[in-house]
Every structure is written in structure tokens, then in C-alpha cells.
């Protein structure tokens, strides 16, 4: 009964998270088109510099302690006051560092006019610290419906502020104020909907345990930021701005499967794994089942992007962007691997293995940098993409498998879960290549190849349909 109730809560949360993710991304596309007509490109550049600084600091803003609140099996009342104090204190201190260091940050990135924008956006760090506990409670209780309401309110308020200020000629400042308006409105909704209220408190024993768990996760978050951004630095410095533009487009396209499928699952995976952690057999099986379901929906999206990379880019973006296809197919493979690795991150975090996660990401970044440079020299942006895939597949995936061993998760069992999606993906590639060989013209290749390959995939994975339908049909027990 408990397991059925948990599955119902998880299924409900995944549905809400998927709806939220889809609507937010569609709305963001329309909003970006509107702002592109209201704000000059150089102002976007100023905001981008400030956003990079903010994202770096946000990755460590609450010291990783909120994840401990999500995964704990004990009473949250004992831990939450200390988490509140640590989150607020770290957010405030980091905001002050950004305010004081903004001139240096902006100067280091050769954009001194971004100084004031960085200082304004540092307020988001304080808000993030204040909302760390309500956000963790939403995740812990699988209330992604509440997250949807908060994100919707944030989008509406932020859009209104940005459009009004952009029309008044505030440029990059309108985007900065948009970010603050989004964070404030989301915070208000989160506090309103979260029933549990925890004032700041301090327990030295809890604080030591929280920091021992959270600091390695915070360090891992910073390393992940490096892993996902160091390639831009390598491409820009070794190949120039034009190849960087092609690579950036390819990487953004390849990240769509990660955003579309991994994000909704990750919104509940840490809490879900933590709920079954005390049952060794269920905990062991939970990762394989989650990975199999993710692969079932991720594989066809990745295969279509990879196999139809060149015609897709030519049709959607135009002939001048065609060189981006050289890197897209490999980066899509990286995206598929990232979906699995991110799920593995949450699995290890739920087990309390934050130091193992940190070590894995130190190895990842250390191995990646020299191989990216070598790939760039040997084969341009395609070589950079290949280096990414080599490190993720040959180094990081085995590292995760080693870390999984104490919990009985074996490569053979995972391979069995992935067999049908893998075979379906191989068949999809064969169908698309055959269609591209027979049919001329990019658009017909996309339409016919996409349709026939999806039908072929469906035939292979048809026996797994009950697992997907089960997730869609289950309801959380009121």
C-alpha cells in the first residue's frame, strides 16, 4: 500500500513537472522573440555577462544543504531550522561578495557596464536562500503542482516587468529586474502554498552533518557548471567566434531531450529514491526502472535529432547554419548519456554519497579539458563534441557504475532494461538513413523519415507500453 501510494505521488508529480517544463519552454521562446525586438543585441550581451556570474554563484548558493532536507528519513522539524539559517546566511554572504566584487567580475569579462546589473541581480541570491526550505519541502512532498503555480506566477510577473521596462528603454536593466520580479513572485507563492513554517535556528550537530553532506554537492554543482561550459571557452579561444556560434547552436539543440525528459523526472527522483532507501531490494530496483522509463522516451527524440541533424538545421535555421550539424549528432549522444548520469547523481545523493559525486565530477572536468583542446585541434567543433562523448561514456559512466556497486546495481541489469530502447534506436537510424538515401529534399526527409522511424521504434518497444501507461494513470492518494 505504501509503495502504491508513493508511485501515485511520484506519477502525479512527474505529470505536473512535465506540463510545467513544456509550458515554460514554449512561453520562453515567445518571450525571447518579443524582447529581441525591444532590446539591442549589445544589451543582451551585458545581461549575459551578469547572468554567467549569477549562475556560477547560484550553483553553490545554499551550500547543498537543502538536498539533505529532501532525502532525510527523520523528522524534518529537527533539521529545517538549521537548513534555513545556513541557506539564508550563505545567500546573503554570497550576495555581498557579488556586490563588492562586481566591478572586478565585469572587468574580467571585458564588460564594465555589467557592474550595476550584477549588483542588482545579486539580490536573487538572498531570495534563493530564503526559499531553499520551502522549495525542498515541495520536492520532498512531491508537490510539483505547487511548483507549477509558483513558476507560472513568476513568468507572468517577470514578463510584465521586462516588457514595460524594455519599452521605457532600460535595456539590460529590464532583464535584470525581470529576474528579481520572477524570484520574488515565485517566493511569495511558495511561502503561501507551503504549510510548514520553519524559523531560523541552530543546532551545531545538525550543522556539521548538513555541511558534511552539502558542501561536496555544492562543489559538484560548481564542477558541473564547469563541465557544461568549459567547451565554449575552448572553442572560442582555439577556433574563433564563428565556430563557437555553430557549436553553441548545436549544443542548445542537443540539450532539448535533457530539458524535456530529464528535468521532470529529476524534480522527483531525489525524493523518490530517498523514500525507498530503507528497503535495499526496492532501492536497488528503483534506479533501473527509472532509467528504463527515461530511456524509453529519450531515445527516439535523441535519434531523430542525431539522424536528421543536417536537414533539420537547414530547414529550421537556414543554409548558413549547416556547419552546426557536424557537432549536433555527437552532442545529442552526449545529451542522452547526460540523462542517465543526472539520474545517477540523484541516486547517489539519496544514498548520502555526496563525496563520491564530488570525486566523479573532479575526474570529469580534469579529463575533459585536455581532450576538448585535442579534439578542437584535430577536428574542429566535431572533435570537441567527440571529446565530450568519450569522457562521458568511457570514464564517467564506469565511475558511476563503480559507485553503484554497494547498492547492488549492476551493468548487466541496467543493460537489460535498456535493450529494447537501444534496439529500437538502432532500427530508427537505419530507417532514417534509408529514407535520406531514397528521398531528396530536407523537408520530405524529415517528415517521412521521422514518421517511419517512430513507427519502427514503437513496434520494438511496444511490450513496454504498460510501464509508461502505468506512470500516466497512477494518481496520488489523497
CA separation for the pair 463, 461 (Å, rounded): 6
DSSP 322: G
* pLDDT score for 366: 94
What's the pTM value of the predicted model, to 2 decimals?
A: 0.80
CA distance 240 to 264: 36
Q: Rounded to the nearest 5°, which phi and psi values hold at 196? A: -75, 130
> Which of 93, 87, 116 has the alpha carbon at shortest distance from 103?
116
Between the alpha carbon of residue 26 and those of residues 47, 101, 155, 410, the distances in Å are: 21, 35, 12, 38
- Written as nine digits, the cell of 54 is 549569477
User: What residue spans of 392-441 are helical by DSSP H?
Assistant: 397-404, 411-438
Predicted confidence at residue 472, as pLDDT, reads 54
**C-alpha atoms less than 13 angstroms from C-alpha of 430 in its C-beta half-sphere:** 9
pLDDT score, position 354:
87
CB-CB contact of 57 with 124 (8 Å): no
Query: In sequence order, what DSSP letters do the residues of 97-114 get, joined into one string?
Result: HHHHHHHHHHHHTT-GGG
Q: Rounded to an integer, what distance in angstroms lies between the CA atom of residue 18 and that of residue 377? A: 40
What is residue 401's predicted lDDT score, i.e. its pLDDT?
94
The reported pLDDT for the residue numbered 1 is: 45
**Cβ neighbours, 10 Å, residue 149:** 18
Instruction: Give 39's DSSP letter.
Output: S
DSSP assigned state of 406: G
Per-residue pLDDT of the chain (478 residues; tens, 9 = 90+): 445 556 666 667 667 776 777 777 677 666 666 766 677 767 766 777 777 778 778 777 777 778 777 877 777 888 888 888 988 998 899 899 989 998 998 887 677 888 898 899 899 889 988 888 888 888 888 888 888 888 889 889 988 998 898 888 888 888 889 889 999 999 999 989 888 778 888 888 888 888 888 888 888 888 888 888 888 878 877 888 778 878 877 887 888 777 777 777 777 777 788 887 878 888 888 888 888 888 888 899 889 988 988 888 888 777 888 888 889 989 999 988 998 999 899 899 888 888 999 999 999 999 999 999 999 999 999 999 999 999 999 999 999 999 999 888 888 989 988 899 999 999 999 999 999 889 888 889 899 998 999 999 999 988 876 666 665 555 544 3
Number of H helices, E strands in the chain: 22, 0
Contacts 24+ apart (CB under 8 A), 137-141: 137/69, 137/76, 137/194, 137/196, 138/190, 138/193, 138/194, 139/70, 139/267, 139/268, 139/270, 139/271, 140/69, 140/70, 140/76, 140/271, 141/271
Distance of CA 414 to the CA centre of its chain: 22
pLDDT of residue 10: 65
Measuring CA to CA, which residue among 431, 439, 463 is closest to residue 304? 431
Q: What is the pLDDT of residue 476?
A: 46
- Give CA torsion, residues 261, 301, 247, 340, to 10 deg: 50
CA neighbor of 292 nearest in space, from 128, 106, 162, 420: 420
Residue whose C-alpha is closest to residue 264's, from 69, 471, 476, 4: 471
- Compute the distance between CA of residue 239 and CA of residue 382 in angstroms, rounded to an integer: 12
Q: Count CB neighbours of 6 within 10 A.
A: 19
Which region holds residue 202: left if phi is over 0, alpha if psi is between -120 and 50, else beta? beta
CB 303 within 8 A of CB 453: yes
Amino acid at each position: 500500500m505504501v509503495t502504491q501510494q508513493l508511485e501515485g505521488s511520484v506519477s502525479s508529480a512527474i505529470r505536473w513537472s512535465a506540463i510545467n517544463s513544456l509550458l515554460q519552454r514554449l512561453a520562453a521562446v515567445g518571450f525571447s522573440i518579443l524582447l529581441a525586438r525591444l532590446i539591442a543585441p549589445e544589451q543582451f550581451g551585458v545581461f549575459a555577462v551578469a547572468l554567467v556570474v549569477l549562475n556560477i554563484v547560484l550553483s553553490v548558493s545554499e551550500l547543498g544543504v537543502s538536498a539533505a532536507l529532501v532525502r532525510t528519513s527523520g523528522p524534518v522539524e529537527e533539521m529545517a531550522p538549521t537548513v534555513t539559517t545556513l541557506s539564508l546566511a550563505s545567500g546573503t554572504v554570497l550576495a555581498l561578495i557579488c556586490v563588492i566584487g562586481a566591478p572586478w567580475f565585469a572587468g574580467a569579462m571585458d564588460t564594465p557596464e555589467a557592474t550595476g546589473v550584477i549588483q542588482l541581480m545579486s539580490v536573487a541570491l538572498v531570495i534563493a536562500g530564503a526559499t531553499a526550505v520551502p522549495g525542498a519541502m515541495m520536492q520532498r512532498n512531491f508537490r510539483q503542482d505547487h511548483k507549477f503555480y509558483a513558476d507560472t506566477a513568476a513568468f507572468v510577473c517577470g514578463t510584465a516587468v521586462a516588457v514595460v521596462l524594455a519599452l521605457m528603454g532600460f535595456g539590460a536593466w529590464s532583464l535584470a529586474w525581470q529576474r528579481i520580479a520572477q524570484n520574488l513572485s515565485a517566493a511569495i507563492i511558495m511561502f503561501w502554498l507551503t504549510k510548514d513554517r520553519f524559523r531560523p535556528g541552530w543546532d551545531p550537530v545538525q550543522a556539521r552533518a548538513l555541511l558534511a553532506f552539502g558542501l561536496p554537492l555544492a562543489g559538484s554543482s560548481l564542477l558541473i557548471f564547469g563541465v557544461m561550459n568549459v567547451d565554449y571557452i575552448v572553442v572560442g579561444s582555439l577556433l574563433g567566434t564563428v565556430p563557437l556560434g555553430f557549436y553553441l547552436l548545436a549544443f542548445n539543440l542537443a540539450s532539448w531531450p535533457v530539458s524535456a525528459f530529464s528535468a521532470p523526472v529529476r524534480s522527483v527522483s531525489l525524493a523518490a529514491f530517498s523514500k525507498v532507501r530503507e528497503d535495499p531490494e526496492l532501492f536497488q530496483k528503483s534506479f533501473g526502472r527509472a532509467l528504463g522509463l527515461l530511456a524509453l522516451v529519450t531515445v527516439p527524440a535523441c535519434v531523430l535529432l542525431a539522424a536528421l541533424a543536417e536537414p533539420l538545421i537547414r530547414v529550421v535555421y537556414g543554409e548558413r547554419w549547416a556547419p552546426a550539424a557536424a557537432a549536433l549528432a555527437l552532442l545529442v549522444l552526449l545529451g542522452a548519456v547526460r540523462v542517465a548520469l543526472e539520474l545517477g547523481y540523484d541516486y547517489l545523493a539519496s544514498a548520502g554519497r555526496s563525496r563520491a559525486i564530488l570525486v566523479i565530477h573532479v575526474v570529469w572536468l580534469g579529463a575533459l579539458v585536455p581532450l576538448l583542446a585535442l579534439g578542437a585541434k584535430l577536428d574542429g567543433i566535431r572533435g570537441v563534441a567527440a571529446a565530450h562523448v568519450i569522457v562521458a561514456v568511457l570514464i564517467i559512466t564506469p565511475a558511476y557504475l563503480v559507485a553503484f556497486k554497494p547498492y547492488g546495481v549492476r551493468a548487466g541489469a541496467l543493460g537489460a532494461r535498456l535493450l529494447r530502447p537501444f534496439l529500437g534506436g538502432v532500427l530508427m537510424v537505419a530507417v532514417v538513413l534509408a529514407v535520406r538515401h531514397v528521398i531528396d529534399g530536407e523537408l520530405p526527409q524529415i517528415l517521412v523519415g521521422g514518421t517511419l522511424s517512430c513507427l519502427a521504434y514503437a513496434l520494438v518497444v511496444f511490450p513496454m507500453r504498460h510501464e509508461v501507461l502505468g506512470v500516466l494513470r497512477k494518481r496520488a492518494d489523497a
